[in-house]
Structure 1
Amino acid sequence: MNLESPKVTLDKSAEETFNFLSDVKNFEALMPENISKFEVLDDDKFLFALKGMPEIVLKKKEAEPNRKIVLGAAGGKLDFSLVGNITEIDANKTEVQLSFNGEFNAMMAMMIKGPISKFIETLVTNMNTAV
């Protein structure tokens, strides 16, 4: 299953945007209002939970300076990744899009598609004020 957020334009350089997304503790500022738990576990790993959902641990798996950040599931039963693609428009303007990629059976994909789409849309929308 592959889902993409809308693209959002930030009045920040690609480097500033990349540095913000590289620091996992900054993801707390991007989380939806219905977050019930957020905890930084390591320099590159954090745990979060939304009300009514299980806890999820994400770990930074890959980073291409000023271009891309890849977070992946750290343990648990589901294997997926959350990719932040950063595109420089000019020196102080950057476009960001998040994509979610995971392998799920048809029933699971049907159940999580809506909530995951809304989640990544909220993360990218909150970048306007957080970054």
Structure 2
Amino acid sequence: MNLESPKVSVAKSAQELFDLLTDMKNFEKLMPENIAKFEVIGEDSFLFGLKGMPEIQLKVKEKAAPGKIVFGAATDKVPFTLITNIDSVSENSSALKFDFEGSFNPMMAMMVKGPIGKFIETLANNMSKL
């Protein structure tokens, strides 16, 4: 299952945005309002829980400054990646898009497609809060 967030413009350079998104504590500002739990686990990992959903731990799997950060599930129980794509637009402006790639059975994919789509859209739309 592959989902994409809308591409959003951010009034920060690509490197500045990359630096902000590799600091795990900044993700708390991007979370939806229905967040039930947020905890930084280490310098490259955080845990979050949304009301009515299981807690998920994301861990940085790959970094390619300043254009890409790949997060993955910390456990193999729910195999997925969340790819952050950052494009430089100008010296003080960049564009960001999240790509979600998950390996789910058809029943699970049907159940999580809506909430995950909304979640990555919220992350993208909250970029202005950084």
Could you tell me the TM-score, scaled by structure 1's length? 0.97
**Structure 1 residue 73, shift from structure 2 partner:** 0.1
Q: How many residues align?
A: 130
**Structure 1 residue 25, shift from structure 2 partner:** 1.1
**Structure 1 residue 77, shift from structure 2 partner:** 1.2
Match of 1:34 in 2: 34
In structure 2, what residue type is equivalent to 1:123?
Answer: L
In structure 2, what residue type is equivalent to 1:105?
Answer: N
Question: In the aligned structure 2, how far is the partner of 1:16 from the partner of 1:64?
Answer: 13
Q: Secondary structure at the match of 1:6?
A: coil
Question: In the aligned structure 1, how far is the partner of 2:8 from the partner of 2:65?
Answer: 19
Question: In the aligned structure 1, how far is the partner of 2:43 from the partner of 2:34?
Answer: 24
Question: In the aligned structure 2, how far is the partner of 1:28 from the partner of 1:76?
Answer: 23
Q: Secondary structure at the match of 2:9?
A: strand
User: Quick check: 1:102 aligned with 2:102?
Assistant: yes
Match of 2:60 in 1: 60
Match of 1:121 in 2: 121
Question: In the aligned structure 1, how far is the partner of 2:87 from the partner of 2:43?
Answer: 25
**Structure 1 residue 76, shift from structure 2 partner:** 5.1
* Cα deviation code 1:36-80 (max 9, x no counterpart): 000011111111000011110000111101100111000151010
Match of 1:75 in 2: 75
**Runs of at least 4 residues of structure 1 off by over 4 A?**
none
Question: In the aligned structure 2, how far is the partner of 1:22 from the partner of 1:41?
Answer: 13
Structure 2: runs of 5+ lacking an equivalent: none
Q: Secondary structure at the match of 1:39?
A: strand
Question: In the aligned structure 1, how far is the partner of 2:27 from the partner of 2:76?
Answer: 20
Match of 1:87 in 2: 87
In structure 2, what residue type is equivalent to 1:62?
Answer: E
* Cα deviation code 1:73-120 (max 9, x no counterpart): 001510100010000011111000001001111000000000000000
* Cα deviation code 1:6-56 (max 9, x no counterpart): 000011100110001111111000000000000011111111000011110
**CA RMSD, aligned part only?**
0.7
Structure 1: runs of 5+ lacking an equivalent: none
